[in-house]
Structure 1
Amino acid sequence: MRRTPKDTEAGARKVSRRGFVLGGAMAAFAALLTARMRYMQVDQADQFRLLADENRINIRLIAPSRGLIYDRNGVILAENEQNYRVVMVKEDAGDVEEVLGRLQRIIKLPEEELERVKNEIDRRSPFVPVTVADRLSWEAFSEVAVNAPALPGVSPEVGQSRIYPMDRDFAHIVGYVGPVSDYDLTEGYLSEDEDPVLQIPKFQVGKTGVEARMEHDLRGQAGTRRIEVNAQGRVMRELDRVEGGAGDNVQMTIDSALQNYIQVRLGEESASAVVMDCGSGDILGIASAPSFDPNLFVRGISVPDYRALLENDHRPLSNKTVQGAYPPGSTFKMVVALAALEDGVIDREESIFCGGYKELGQRRFHCWRRGGHGRLSLSGALEQSCDVYFYEIAERVGIEKITAMARRLGLGQRHDVPLSAVVEGLTPTKAWKRENRDADWLIGDTLNAGIGQGFVLASPLQLAVMTSRIATGRALTPRLIKSINAEEIVQEAGVLDIDPDHLNYVREGMWAVTNGRHGSARSSRVVADGMELAGKTGTSQVRNITAAERARGVTSNDDLPWNRRDHALFVCYAPYDRPQVACSVVVEHGGGGSAVAAPIARDIMLQALYGGTPPLDAYPSSQRGTIRTRQQELPLRDPSSYSGGKIRA
């Protein structure tokens, strides 16, 4: 069929339109291609020139900034400082031996440190940076940076390291950090922690104390940075960086000034003390002596320094406040008294005769006073710490009810405080002895428990909790962490299920201990109006006294080797009629509680009540000269060192 001229003209118009559209598209594509080529060849010439030299991109983790730790008033206890260090990446270094040799000509590295670095490099993945040297001076750090082109795979970096400005005062509480170890990751508390930041060489994690128990709060989240490395392993530039999240800041309930006083007052004794707020349960001070400088562990403690700590028979590395479990001695007599009162086997007025011992079968259980105390009521028995009185009422009430009361008062349980190796103590039962000693419970076991000996064990923290509960009639629990990132941690304390009258009877006896005419701690009384102290002495034996020794006279503690002397204990609260603060003091192998532990506790209590050095007229007049000299000679921190703390959100 022939096309008409009209059809031919219409087809020509279609062809010309299609050609125009196609030509326009081709022109646009050509323009786009030209622009892209210009961008790659002109604008990005430097970048592609580097990539042509076999550069590659590495992604590295940025260690997060660890959270800070403060005391209750905002004084800083653990902070971070800049740390200049040098790291090496094996796959970028090439010949590791040669590079380390060059580096050693710039900064001096001991042979043992070089071996450690080589072993670490062999163990780690080739792309993981290994710390070769840290805590460098600025001069050494700068010299490495200047010589970086000759050190493939080596990078100078600025990191952070932990520092403890209050050093010995908080060593057992705050603890310290150290590099992640294989043990931490395989068997320790980080064994199930999959955070990749733990793979950063020498990344610091908590090892003891709050640093360890609150590791996940304090650690923070790692950041990342993308870096460009050339064929020689030299870092050319940082392409981008994503900062991580800093760890949470933690505020403790401890008062730094009081803590320093307690630590100094305990001195080099093998001793411990705990101070609790009777309103909130806050731990205001918790000190173990002797102490140590935790900064030594962060920096890398020397072998001689570590050996000296390990071989010290006063055990400075042990936190005795929560790790020490001691026979509570006569401080346990309040527990026995309350158990007997609640069970109705004694009343306030009943008197019991003490002739110096109680006979049980063929055995005599002796009172500390050889000639006995005569007839005593409950208050008098507490005042003079008569053993025979408590042998008698312990036998009447029985071990099961004594143990139930002890647990109600906070003994025999592991309190939830973020410290290392908190002990449970021991409040025994008949079933416990069968299971653990494969023997039946004996009446003699109950008598021994009646005076806080035998199987009974308690920590200084538990004794402070016990005292605060007796003082207030409330089930106070110890609180060590006040807030996390300024969000306060609140805990409630219910009322103890103990007759208030019975608590009052025991408190009267505790008042008599320090204020009564025959009080076993009368010399440690407080005479300031409204500040009267109520307490209880305790002396726990660490050796058996034979019948032959009793016959010729019990050997004085002063004549025994130090490690065979009795432990000295004292628990107290004040003021007597409106309890504010409770305290426990244990002096290992100190001798008598009244002579050794009570004066320390009285000084600590006054320091806490007055918020600083107490007036001399709080002490009996005959002691003021001695007290003045002691106050002047104690090497306390400068008060101005506590004024600069500012909590940072």
Structure 2
Amino acid sequence: MKRSPKDVMDSARTISRRALVMGGVQLGVVGVLGWRLQSMQVEQADQFRLLAEENRINIRLLPPARGLIFDRNGIPIADNEQNYRVVMVREDAGDIGEVLARLTRLVDIDPDDLTRAMDEMQRRSPFVPVTIADRLSWEDVAQINLNTPTLPGITAEVGLSRVYPAGADLAHVVGYVGPVSDYDLSRIDDSDPLLQIPKFQIGKSGAENKLERTLRGSAGTRRIEVNAAGRIMRELDRKEGEAGKDIQLTLDSRLQTYVQARLEGQSAGAVVIDLENGDLRAVASAPAFDPNKFVRGISVKDWTDLNDNKYRPLAAKAVQGAYPPGSTFKMVTALAAFEAGVVAPDETVYCPGYTDVYGIRFHCWKRGGHGNINLHESLKQSCDCYYYEIAQRVGIDKMAEMARKLGLGIKHDLPLSAVAQGLAPDKAWKSTVRGEEWRIGDTVNASIGQGYVLASPLQLAVLSARIATGREVTPRLIRLINGVEQPSGMGDSLGINENTLRRVRASMNDVCNHRRGTAYRSRILAEGQEMAGKTGTSQVRRITPEERAAGVTKNEDLPWERRDHALFVSFAPYDNPRYALSVVVEHGGGGSSAAAPIARDIMLQALYGGPPPLEAYPSADRDRIAEQQKRIEARIPPGARSRSQV
């Protein structure tokens, strides 16, 4: 059908409008595209250039240098040494198996290390460097660098690794570091990206662990350019991290080495405190272990030997051990009774060798008894019956209160692993913890440091320090952090009657310096250096009435695990106290025979700052001491060079 001229014109107008609209839309799209291209190519060129660069630029973390640890004289006791290692980045390596095969043809790598590294790479992100082997020689590193083109993803690096120059002598205090593990990550709340670096070392025990954040520092970064194969082409820039802070401890490493040597052959702990400021001069536990073995990766044999040793070398007995304090607790009972006014200074108690309490017989160590005895004689001769009597008068709550005032039953705040709180029991404790009523027999047992009472060598040294000074001496282990002095542990007055303290001190003096004193054989003869102290022997087994009637079995005739613990606390010089110390010998037998001689030797070493003159010892001991000094001095490095603090 033929269209009319009007229809043709209408149709043409409609097509023209549509063409104009479509043309306008197309022109607009082209304009927007043009504008966007201009914006991207000119105005945003720098931004897109950076994004493009980031496709070929990697950012790697730089582990900071771990802070160093020094003794009080500036001698390094936890240092850093260079460590050459080889690392692999999985996403840059391509065929991992082939690359590792080439690597092992160049350097000798333990197959166990390769297996561990392969497992590590499967667990980590592909861009995280994984250590294949460390502690390589410079020759190995040179071989790897020469063959870099055939080893994609492989890099030889130099880092720092921890080393402990004093070895076992400071192991329990300083502790050790080791590679961060999945277990570490699961138990600590720390988002520091450094912890994601495989084989990054963190503190595992001792001060290394408790002061981890202070010693660790913060990470640095480096930007490196890589080619299409992932091989490093050049380092674009580097921002060094912040090194960890250096720490100076209060310990005297020479005295510490002497104490460790003197405890050799024992399962024991000893603590020496400076009475002026609470500084811990020595904190020793025996036997010990070499912390360097843990840093380098301890062998299965060495680990088994440490774990299976009945003397528990991994245990820091000086601070972790909790023992019945035995007769060293008698000063607590005496001070509590005198402060409560339930006993007069010269009042005597009759000791027939036992005390009957509601039909139960509590024995004195001296079978025939001490007769009429007062405070002074009771401490000097360590009579038990005197304390059985006065404890019933004063009661356990006041005894526990005095114990805590003197530093027992409280956890001292030190950067060490598992510091023991010990136990100064009272009625409320037994009701809450045991669900039982406190009995008078419990009080009698506690009066001589048996029953529920527990104390660590650290706490016993604090006890002696506070009696010697009348002040709340607080143990201090950190002297300086990056050169900044830490608060003193000198302490304020305990508020105990000074006359009462003088009586107790005088009694402790006679323990060591009177012929009838229990530690007379371990006295110090040097004028002006006399030592005051108290022996202690704590039972670890019950003596039955039948055994007592037949004769108590001697310690040396018992298996080691069933022998009594030997304890001794002391301070010196008596007239002007400078140091307090404690010694606990596990299953050592009597405090006078096993612990007191060790304490006397340690005290003299502290007072003289080295080997004392033989004239300071009783004449009968001098030949033995001369041989002992030669043997022990051979272990002590002659004048270790100190390093200045930052």
Q: TM-score, normalised by structure 2?
A: 0.91
1:628 paired with 2:626, answer yes
Q: Deviations over 1:431-473 (max 9, x none)?
A: 1111222211110000000000000000000000010000000
Contact (CA 8 Å) 2:483, 2:645: kept in 1 or not?
A: no
SS at match of 1:172: helix
What is the number of residues matched between the two proteins?
A: 598
Q: What residue in structure 1 maps to residue 549 of structure 2?
A: 551
Counterparts of 1:305 and 1:639, CA distance in 2: 26
Contact (CA 8 Å) 1:222, 1:244: kept in 2 or not?
A: yes
Partner of residue 224 from structure 1, selected from 221, 224, 233: 221
SS at match of 1:453: coil
Matches within 5 A, 1:547-626: 547-626=545-624
Q: What residue in structure 1 maps to residue 534 of structure 2?
A: 536
Contact (CA 8 Å) 1:367, 1:388: kept in 2 or not?
A: yes
Q: What residue in structure 1 maps to residue 29 of structure 2?
A: none
Q: What residue in structure 2 maps to residue 258 of structure 1?
A: 255
Q: Deviations over 1:577-607 (max 9, x none)?
A: 1110000000000000000100000000000
Counterparts of 1:379 and 1:517, CA distance in 2: 14
Q: What residue in structure 1 maps to residue 11 of structure 2?
A: none
With over 3 angstroms needed to count, the CA separation of the structure-2 counterparts of 1:167 and 1:464, relative to structure 1, is: same
Q: What residue in structure 1 maps to residue 27 of structure 2?
A: none
What amino acid is aligned across from residue 77 of structure 1 in structure 2?
I
Q: Deviations over 1:35-90 (max 9, x none)?
A: x99xx9xxxxxxx9xx99x9710000000000110000101101110100011111
Shift of 1:499: 0.4
Counterparts of 1:520 and 1:640, CA distance in 2: 36
Q: What residue in structure 2 maps to residue 416 of structure 1?
A: 413
Q: Deviations over 1:212-271 (max 9, x none)?
A: 111111111110000111122211111110011111000000001100100000002100
Counterparts of 1:129 and 1:502, CA distance in 2: 67
Contact (CA 8 Å) 2:76, 2:642: kept in 1 or not?
A: yes
Matches within 5 A, 1:233-244: 233-244=230-241
Matches within 5 A, 1:1-16: none
Partner of residue 199 from structure 2, selected from 202, 216, 233: 202
Q: What residue in structure 1 maps to residue 332 of structure 2?
A: 335
Contact (CA 8 Å) 1:55, 1:230: kept in 2 or not?
A: no
Q: What residue in structure 2 maps to residue 393 of structure 1?
A: 390
Q: What residue in structure 2 maps to residue 476 of structure 1?
A: 473
SS at match of 1:198: helix
SS at match of 1:155: strand
Counterparts of 1:121 and 1:614, CA distance in 2: 58
1:377 paired with 2:374, answer yes
Q: Deviations over 1:10-31 (max 9, x none)?
A: xxxxxxxxxxxxxxxxxxxxxx
1:437 paired with 2:434, answer yes
Shift of 1:508: 1.1
What amino acid is aligned across from residue 508 of structure 1 in structure 2?
A
What amino acid is aligned across from residue 270 of structure 1 in structure 2?
S
Counterparts of 2:305 and 2:142, CA distance in 1: 36
Counterparts of 2:249 and 2:644, CA distance in 1: 12
Counterparts of 1:174 and 1:143, CA distance in 2: 37
Partner of residue 483 from structure 2, selected from 483, 486, 489: 486
SS at match of 2:335: helix
Shift of 1:183: 1.2
Q: What residue in structure 1 maps to residue 266 of structure 2?
A: 269
Q: What residue in structure 1 maps to residue 458 of structure 2?
A: 461
SS at match of 1:305: helix
SS at match of 2:114: helix
Q: What residue in structure 1 maps to residue 496 of structure 2?
A: 498
Q: What residue in structure 2 maps to residue 121 of structure 1?
A: 121
Q: For structure 2, which runs of at least 5 residues remain unmatched after alignment?
A: 1-40
Counterparts of 2:392 and 2:209, CA distance in 1: 44
Q: Deviations over 1:336-379 (max 9, x none)?
A: 00000000111210011100000012210000011101111101
Q: What residue in structure 2 maps to residue 22 of structure 1?
A: none
Q: Deviations over 1:131-165 (max 9, x none)?
A: 11111111111111111111111111111100010
Contact (CA 8 Å) 1:59, 1:226: kept in 2 or not?
A: yes
What amino acid is aligned across from residue 512 of structure 2 in structure 1?
T
Shift of 1:621: 1.9
Contact (CA 8 Å) 1:346, 1:393: kept in 2 or not?
A: yes
Counterparts of 1:577 and 1:526, CA distance in 2: 13
Contact (CA 8 Å) 2:258, 2:636: kept in 1 or not?
A: no
Q: For structure 1, which runs of at least 5 residues remain unmatched after alignment?
A: 1-35, 41-47
What amino acid is aligned across from residue 182 of structure 2 in structure 1?
D
Computed over aligned residues only, the root mean square deviation of the Cα atoms, in angstroms, reads 1.6
Q: What residue in structure 2 maps to residue 98 of structure 1?
A: 98
What amino acid is aligned across from residue 611 of structure 1 in structure 2?
G
1:319 paired with 2:313, answer no
SS at match of 2:136: coil
What amino acid is aligned across from residue 610 of structure 1 in structure 2?
Y
